[in-house]
Chain A
């Protein structure tokens, strides 16, 4: 029977099927960070258990740390410091490999996995973090788990899982100028809704997906969780293999050949059955921006704030009303007129070198508008070094952007980078929930190029009006 990419990876990892149909699924790579692990290690300790395969586990510190120079002098917030110290202590006690805080490979867990060549096609990858779906861009089955499951994987290298359903999102045609993977995935979520993928694993297909580089595919898979799906995936192809070949973790010699042979068998077979298929035309996608407090409340930048009175039912009306109020908007207002206080370019959605290049291309030779705080936070130390080698940091600094140290930063209100109540941000991150970037903060999600345009304009802006002035050198 023809199989999907998901079916193939799933079948290759079932250790045992339990009588009720639950599978004991083998996990190839377990990534960990400081926020969702302390209680898991506590559980192991209490039960006298250890890590079954430390070499298949990798820890990194990303959520709690400052992204300014203060990270070099120690973490100020005592609770954050304790959480980080706890991960460091647990790594030593349980023999888990950990990337030290001040290592040049440190970065956001979902940036470093692929970049170090640890996330590979055909793998099962988990992390106590919903955006683990990012790694699906490699052609892996990657999904987020809770802390109890982290403990389960540490102890057994397996998870109890029920099979997901298959969903295909087919995006054909060419993306227009100014559009990127971010615009694709926002448009997809706008179409299917935040629960549209529940119970499914989404495989992205079509020539618009094939044309994306790995960073673009990671952006798409990253936000798949906002569409409610367990995981997002893109079948591995030459783009994937070329990317992996450049990473330090790439299999070498004969291993590379045999790995490649297996990876090439992974794409979904002709005629494989999908439980649900959604199609989008890439050329109809305009640059997207969210206006509300759920990622599904997204519109083309040319759009206007919806009127709650137009809602199809009372529940939706109340929801829209609440969003309009929270976001400080007026129905009918043009999105392009909304002034922004803060621009955040970063997060595991959009902090890779390609994202920073996209922002720099728009910013080059221009300047951030008065009164706007614009920050660029590279996803990892390696991204930062690469950007600096390319001179992107100077371009951005000259344009008035802050150039910061890697971490989750303003993606979530957990470390010193936070919005103040009432502040409006244009953000390349993945969640616009109430208070996500700090209590009372108002978030508009968009692509790195769109974020750069908003920084220059001082309000949400259409990146298509900001053609690059000069090429990046």
Chain B
């Protein structure tokens, strides 16, 4: 996983609530067996017309947002299907951070596993950031994970919450399987205990 420390970038405004993972990456594009290459299908239904041409009205088809690394949206971002292809598509397109008032649980987890930082900020702040983002190429937004702040182009800072463990893994780009493996002995003990007390759980 790529580490996430600080990011200063163009932000794309997507002032919508309930952006679901079917919208982020429709099911017909989930057939790849690798993690790469989903970026070209990001928001496919909104980004492309039926004949495959670009929809010029969609934000990510406009300059300078083609180069956006931050996405700002409204409530319940990433709801619906558990597909991790959603953060993969965002990442492959170049988005490293999504800012919204709140996120659906599974999507939130999936982002942290892939070096995409979900930043939770109050609705009013998201509205301000969307206004900033709408100014286009000159408006850079900074996300500093170490200090847990988002910095507006005018210098105003907004603190955001993040779990300590997740922050640590993200700052260092660590794989959590390796971390968990360090607890292998405890898992062995748990299994031995369970086998004795609930033998029916061990089936072939």
- On A, residues with C-beta under 8 Å from B are 15-16, 18, 20, 22, 24, 26, 28, 35-36, 38-39, 42-43, 47, 49, 52-53, 55-56, 63-64, 77, 79-80, 82-83, 86, 118, 120, 123, 128-130, 132, 144-149, 151-152, 155-158, 160, 162, 194-195, 198-199, 226, 228, 230, 249, 251, 255-256, 258-259, 262, 294, 315, 319, 412-414, 421, 431, 433-436, 439-440
Q: Are A144 and B82 in contact (CB under 8 A)?
A: yes
Q: Which residues of B contact A35 (CB under 8 A)?
A: 30-31, 83
Question: Smallest distance from the beta carbon of A118 to chain B beta carbons, Å?
Answer: 8
Q: Are A198 and B22 in contact (CB under 8 A)?
A: no
Q: Are B84 and A36 in contact (CB under 8 A)?
A: yes
Q: Which residues of B contact A42 (CB under 8 A)?
A: 33-35
Q: Are B183 and A147 in contact (CB under 8 A)?
A: no
Question: Smallest distance from the beta carbon of A389 to chain B beta carbons, Å?
Answer: 27
Choose one: A145, A251, A414, A421; the contact of B27 (CB below 8 Å).
A414
Interface string of B65-80 (1 = CB under 8 A from A): 0000000001110011
Q: Which residues of B contact A412 (CB under 8 A)?
A: 22, 27, 81
A83 and B105 contact, Cβ closer than 8 Å, known pairs A20-B164, A439-B50:
no
Q: Are B23 and A55 in contact (CB under 8 A)?
A: no
Q: Are A24 and B183 in contact (CB under 8 A)?
A: yes
Choose one: A80, A146, A151, A152; the contact of B31 (CB below 8 Å).
A80
A468→B27 CA distance, assembly (Å): 37
Choose one: B20, B32, B45, B187; the contact of A79 (CB below 8 Å).
B32
Name 28 interchain pairs, CB-CB below 8 A, sorted by A: A15-B186, A16-B183, A36-B83, A38-B33, A39-B84, A77-B31, A83-B31, A120-B200, A129-B81, A130-B106, A148-B114, A149-B113, A151-B177, A155-B177, A157-B187, A195-B18, A195-B102, A228-B104, A251-B200, A256-B200, A258-B198, A262-B198, A315-B17, A413-B26, A414-B27, A431-B20, A433-B20, A436-B27
Identity of the chain B residue whose Cβ is nearest the Cβ of A249 in the assembled complex = B203
Q: Are A434 and B23 in contact (CB under 8 A)?
A: yes
Q: Are B109 and A146 in contact (CB under 8 A)?
A: yes
B128 interface hit (Cβ, 8 Å): no
Q: Are A439 and B45 in contact (CB under 8 A)?
A: yes
Q: Are B45 and A434 in contact (CB under 8 A)?
A: yes
Total contacts A-B at CB 8 Å = 187
A184→B23 CA distance, assembly (Å): 27
Interface size on B, residues (CB 8 A): 58
Q: Which residues of B contact A24 (CB under 8 A)?
A: 180, 183, 186-187
Q: Are B17 and A147 in contact (CB under 8 A)?
A: no
A434→B113 CA distance, assembly (Å): 27
Q: Which residues of A contact B83 (CB under 8 A)?
A: 35-36, 146
Q: Which residues of A contact B23 (CB under 8 A)?
A: 433-435
Q: Are B33 and A39 in contact (CB under 8 A)?
A: yes
Identity of the chain A residue whose Cβ is nearest the Cβ of B28 in the assembled complex = A413
Q: Which residues of A contact B183 (CB under 8 A)?
A: 15-16, 24, 158
Interface string of B13-57 (1 = CB under 8 A from A): 001111010110011101111110000000001000010000000
Q: Are A156 and B32 in contact (CB under 8 A)?
A: no
Q: Are B190 and A26 in contact (CB under 8 A)?
A: yes
A344→B4 CA distance, assembly (Å): 44
A53→B106 CA distance, assembly (Å): 24
A15 and B190 contact, Cβ closer than 8 Å, known pairs A146-B82, A315-B74, A433-B80:
yes
Q: Which residues of A contact B114 (CB under 8 A)?
A: 148
Interface string of B161-189 (1 = CB under 8 A from A): 00111000000000111001101101100
Choose one: B18, B180, B199, B204; the contact of A294 (CB below 8 Å).
B18
Q: Which residues of B contact A38 (CB under 8 A)?
A: 33-34
Q: Which residues of B contact A155 (CB under 8 A)?
A: 177, 180-181
B138 interface hit (Cβ, 8 Å): no
Q: Are B22 and A435 in contact (CB under 8 A)?
A: yes
Choose one: B74, B175, B200; the contact of A258 (CB below 8 Å).
B200
- Of the listed residues A28, A55, A148, the one surrounded by the most CB atoms of chain B closer than 10 A to its CB is A148
Q: Which residues of A contact B106 (CB under 8 A)?
A: 130, 144-146, 230
A160 and B165 contact, Cβ closer than 8 Å, known pairs A24-B186, A198-B102, A413-B26:
yes
Choose one: A77, A262, A414, A434; the contact of B30 (CB below 8 Å).
A414
Q: Are B104 and A198 in contact (CB under 8 A)?
A: yes
A22 and B165 contact, Cβ closer than 8 Å, known pairs A47-B177, A195-B102:
yes
A434 and B82 contact, Cβ closer than 8 Å, known pairs A158-B180, A228-B76, A315-B17:
no
